[in-house]
Structure 1
Amino acid sequence: MKAEFSFSKDHPSLAGHFPEEPIIPGVTLLVQVQEVIHASTVPGEIYKLRSAKFLRPVKPGEPLNISWEKGVSGDLSFHCAIGDVPVLTGVFSRFTPLDWGSGHA
């Protein structure tokens, strides 16, 4: 699946975040990716972030393309890019009842 989004220059996460040369905080990127992917999943499914790798800073206004796919194991692999330049990759794993109290949540 695919989607596109960007962050405005007045996004609340930018307050004080490198005012002269603002970049989108990593946690803000991950939250947006998670929300986009969550909107496409089966209601009731819960995912946890298993891994993420930030490859390049993202500036306000840059159009981000996100693509993701569900693997055989149920994990969701995602890739974010600005044009052909990768900026973020990662994996969300399905959260199961066995994860409660296991220290792996």
Structure 2
Amino acid sequence: MRKKSNKVERRTGLRQMRVNQTISSDHPSLPGHFPGDPVIPAALLVEAAQQVVLEHANIERLCGFSKLKLRALIKPDIEFEIAFEETKTGYFKVSLSQLDVVCVTLILSSS
């Protein structure tokens, strides 16, 4: 994965950010998801979201996630956006979008 652009905004003391990433079609997890029509596995997308929040929200660890909704597939080699907003201390509402479509939403928590 590689980050292409980062934008940090602060709103009423809570953190929010948008990060663009691309996962290459030669990523080791993709050959089985699905041959001839690859998609990025949900576990890899949750991990990418966790890494972005850990890095940019300046927290040491995340304890879990909840309310995971898979709304559409995310394809490799096409840039997607990970956006997060701290809704209350230690809770981050996260969305992953590709081609202006919200594909995945979840809540990450650090407490």
TM-score (norm 2): 0.77
Moved more, 39-48 or 49-58: 39-48
**Structure 2: tracts of 5 or more residues without a match:** 1-16
> Does 1:3 pair with 2:3?
no
Change in CA separation of 1:74 and 1:16 when aligned onto 2, cut-off 3 Å: closer
The runs of 4+ residues in structure 1 deviating greater than 3 Å are none
| Greater C-alpha Rg | 1
How far off is 1:73 after superposition?
Answer: 4.2
Which has the larger share of strand? 2
Change in CA separation of 1:86 and 1:30 when aligned onto 2, cut-off 3 Å: same
* TM-superposition CA deviations, 1:39-85 (whole Å, max 9, x none): 01234343311221111011111211111111124310011111321
User: How is 1:1-105 mapped onto 2 (pairs within 5 angstroms)?
Assistant: 1-95=17-111
**Structure 1: tracts of 5 or more residues without a match:** 96-105
Task: Please give the root-mean-square deviation of Cα atoms over the aligned residues, in Å.
Answer: 1.5
Moved more, 72-81 or 28-37: 72-81
Contact 2:67 2:107 in 1 (8 A): yes
Q: What is the count of residue pairs matched by the alignment?
A: 95
Q: Identity rate of aligned residues, in percent?
A: 28
Which has the larger share of helix? 1
TM-score (norm 1): 0.81
